[in-house]
């Protein structure tokens, strides 16, 4: 009897050729269908690009820093162009003494969804040490910072966070822009509303915002 044929080997995840190396994540499919971004031969482009998140709580204007984080900005704009962020909910608000952020960018609203691809970190190297950390390991992510959320090194996808008060974090999160004054006023209003209580925790410091935040549309401003 002839030996059974070996099953075909699985093809490796597709990766774009270039400095950003956007890589498919078959084990973590996209929460909303979107193609891989194109990967340029060189990470160059305009130093500053503006995007507005039009939310039910007010506008949040963003200035993206393509010089500091070109691959991150390219991915973010790709997702904006493909309407990935439209009609999505910001699923997490934190109010720890050392972490004050609103996290968005997951169409599933669960905190585990992404675009079906990942890419490398572009980490900050010049952040000041957090005064609350005598070891100097944690750094200041200042009020107004726009940064990528991740699940470990080089796992950037679509989720991002907006810092509404100075926070102390290890410098493991790519900073790729900042929030404008009108956006900070919107963030302050959301933060003042607090975090939605649950049956298990009537006064949480981490969870869904009590004022639900829907990104109706993300628009690039020219």
Q: How far apart are CA 155 and CA 114, in angstroms?
A: 10
pTM: predicted TM-score of the whole model, two decimal places: 0.93
152-164 per-position pLDDT tens digit:
999 999 999 999 9
DSSP state for residue 42 in the 8-state scheme: S
The mean pLDDT of the chain is 93
- Phi first, then psi: give them for residue 156, nearest 5 degrees: -60, 140
Q: Which helix (H) or strand (E) holds 94?
A: strand 92-94
CATH architecture assigned to 23-37+68-221:
Beta Barrel (2.40)
No. of helices (H) and no. of strands (E), the chain: 2, 14
Q: How do the domains of the chain map onto residue ranges? A: 23-37+68-221
- Which among 22, 205, 27, 31 has a CA at the least distance from the CA of 112? 31
185-206 per-position pLDDT tens digit:
999 999 999 999 999 999 999 9
pLDDT value at 37 more than 70: yes
- Can you give the pLDDT at residue 47? 63
Going by pLDDT thresholds of 50, 70 and 90, the confidence category of residue 149 is very high
Q: How far apart are CA 78 and CA 68, in angstroms?
A: 17
- β-pair type (214-221, 88-89): antiparallel
Tokens of 119: 């890419």
Going by pLDDT thresholds of 50, 70 and 90, the confidence category of residue 100 is very high
């Amino acid at each position: 009897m002839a030996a059974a044929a070996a099953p075909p080997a699985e093809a490796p995840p597709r990766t774009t050729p270039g400095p950003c190396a956007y890589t498919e994540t078959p084990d973590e499919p996209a929460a909303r269908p979107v193609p891989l971004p194109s990967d340029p031969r060189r990470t160059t482009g305009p130093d500053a690009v503006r995007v507005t998140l039009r939310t039910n709580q007010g506008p949040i204007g963003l200035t993206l820093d393509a010089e500091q984080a070109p691959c991150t900005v390219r991915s973010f704009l790709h997702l904006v162009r493909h309407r990935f962020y439209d009609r999505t909910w910001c699923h997490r608000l934190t109010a720890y003494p050392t972490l004050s952020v609103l996290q968005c960018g997951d169409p599933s609203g669960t905190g585990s969804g992404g675009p079906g691809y990942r890419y490398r970190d572009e980490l900050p190297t010049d952040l000041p040490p957090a005064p609350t950390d005598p070891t100097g390991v944690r750094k200041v992510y200042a009020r107004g910072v726009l940064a990528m959320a991740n699940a470990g090194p080089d796992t950037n996808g679509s989720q991002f966070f907006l810092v509404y008060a100075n926070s102390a974090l290890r410098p493991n999160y790519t900073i790729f822009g900042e929030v404008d004054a009108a956006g900070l006023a919107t963030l302050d209003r959301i933060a003042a509303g607090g975090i939605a209580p649950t049956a298990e925790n009537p006064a949480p410091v981490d969870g869904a915002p009590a004022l639900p935040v829907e990104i109706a549309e993300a628009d690039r401003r020219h």
